[in-house]
Amino acid sequence: MCEKCVNAKYVSQKISKTRWRPVSHSSLQQPDIFATGSWDNEDNKISFWSIGNHGSSGMDEGFEGDPQLLCEHKHDGDVLDLQFLDQDRIVTTSSTGAVTIFRHHQNSQTISVSQRWPRVHRYPCDNAPCTGVVCSSPEIVTVGEDGKIIVFRADQEGVIRVIENADSSTIHAVTYLRTTEILTVNSIGQLKLWDLRQQSNSPSQILSLSGDRLPLHCVDRHPNQQHIVATGGQDGMLCVWDVRQGSTPFSLMEAHSAEMWEVHFHPTNPDHLFTCSEDGSLLHWETSTHSDMPSFLQGGRNNSMISRSAMAPAGGNQSLISTWLSGDSSKGRLETTHMLPSQTLSVNSLDVLGQCLVCGTDGEAIFVNRQVPV
């Protein structure tokens, strides 16, 4: 995929988060609407955009048609995280410590505030930015700089549960491990597992890197194999962990030269992983697929990426061992591709669904790629 097939759309706001609206699993449609949140503006906004992909199969080019703005709404404070709750509603977290649910009215293309929890994350005398949110409708879990984990239910006033002092440092991101377990990452390089069924205020497991305790900024779970988790942190290293085994990561890969802001497994093709970073690059990681032939004998591969790890057994147990856990700290059987033209400012956020990828940068640009090779 050539870098030049991605066009920038300049939108006059620095994009902090961007997410595709989920498409129903039954249809084979490509996603057509995404939401963005801005930051560092005097008046921040959330906006909905369309790329007009309504089942049109006649598109040859990957970039025809800029994203069109559908509607936007004022947002109080920086949008620090954004998730779709369902087809019409998004949850956002703010630098003022508030959590808000917005509803997108598709018929009139307007946005209204559906529910709001102001100042849920706070210090005794000040607001604390709420840094991450994850939701599984109707449950919403947020984390913040105040080290709290808060559980809400959409359509219910007040909070369901607060885990005070869950962490003595800032919690940067949260994700679901199982329906009742969540995983958080903090600024002293620890992953913590929390079992929400239990009433205790301490994590059920703590994992961390050996060596320097650098902050971790993002975490994502493998869509099919729930014990595999990828994280990225301040030094731009991509770590893949197996939460069942041991307390240190399974493999470490040098990815970026600055903070990694987001990491995403592709939801339907988890052999593909995407990361974006402060250094302005967006990488597409692809593990080689299960095959009988060792990868260095297959044609067309970039030889410099070939690892020195052991050959996989022909056929056999490979389907049970994820290729992400190759256990080798070199690039493994991985191919990495840059997806953006060079010299962009920090890429703050990305999302990938089907064959479409969207990302937003500090250069106030949105990039959409409709033909991601997955």
Partner 1 sequence: MEELDVEPAITNIPAASDGKHLGFAWGPGDILAYETLYMAPGMCRHQHKPLSMFSHSCAKGSGCSFIHEVRKDEDIYSPILRKLFNESHHIFVGLQTIREDLPSKNKKTQFVSISKNYRSVIRACMEELQQVAASVLVLQVSILLAIELIWNLCEVLFIDAAPAGPLLLHLLDWVRLHKGDVDEKAREVLQSESPAEHHDYWDVVVSYVLQGRFEEARQMLVKQATLQPAARNMYKLMDTLLSKMPFYNPGGTQTLTEFDVKWRHWHEEVDRCLQDNSFASNQHLEIICKILVGDEDTLLEHKELLSTWYHFLVTRLLFCHPTVKPTELHYYAQSCMTMFLDLRSVPEPLDSILLAAFEFDIHQVIKDCSIALNNWWFVAHLTDLLDHCKLLQSHNLHFGSNLREFLLLEYASGLFTHHSLWQLAVDYFDNCPEFGHVYLELQIERVPLDTERKALKVLRICEQRQMSEQVRSICKIMAMRALRNNRLGSALSWSIRAKDAAFATLISERFLQDYCARGTFSDLDLIDNLGPAMLLSDRLTFLVKYREFHKLYEENRFSEAAKLLLSLITAKIAPRSFWMTLLTDALPLLEQKEVSHSAHCALHCGFGHDLCFSKHT
Binding site for partner 1 (CB under 8 A): 8, 10-14, 16, 39-42, 78, 80, 95, 123-126, 128-129, 131, 145-147, 165, 167-170, 186-188, 190, 192, 202-203, 206, 208-213, 215, 234, 258-259, 278, 343-346, 362-365
Q: In this structure, what is the dihedral angle of CA atoms 269, 24, 242, 171, given to the nearest 10 degrees?
A: 120
Contact partners, residue 299, CB within 8 Å, separation at least 6 = none
Instruction: Pick between residue 14 and residue 331 the one whose CB is nearest to partner 1.
Output: 14
Q: Nearest approach, Cβ of 236 to partner 1 (angstroms)? A: 10
Instruction: Pick between residue 109 and residue 165 the one whose CB is nearest to partner 1.
Output: 165
Instruction: Pick between residue 82 and residue 353 the one whose CB is nearest to partner 1.
Output: 82
Instruction: Pick between residue 205 and residue 329 the one whose CB is nearest to partner 1.
Output: 205
Q: Nearest approach, Cβ of 133 to partner 1 (angstroms)? A: 15
Contact partners, residue 120, CB within 8 Å, separation at least 6 = 97, 98, 99, 130, 142, 150, 159
Q: Nearest approach, Cβ of 343 to partner 1 (angstroms)? A: 5
Q: What are the CA-CA distances from residue 236 to residues 183, 227, 256 (Å)?
A: 20, 22, 4
Contact between 352 and 264 under an 8 Å Cβ cutoff? The reply is: yes
Instruction: Pick between residue 1 and residue 214 the one whose CB is nearest to partner 1.
Output: 214
Give the tokens for residue 253: 């890969």
Instruction: Pick between residue 145 and residue 242 the one whose CB is nearest to partner 1.
Output: 145
d(C-alpha 85, C-alpha 137), whole Å? 6
Contact partners, residue 228, CB within 8 Å, separation at least 6 = 221, 222, 240, 241, 242, 243, 322, 324, 325
Q: Nearest approach, Cβ of 207 to partner 1 (angstroms)? A: 10
Q: Nearest approach, Cβ of 146 to partner 1 (angstroms)? A: 7
Q: Nearest approach, Cβ of 25 to partner 1 (angstroms)? A: 33
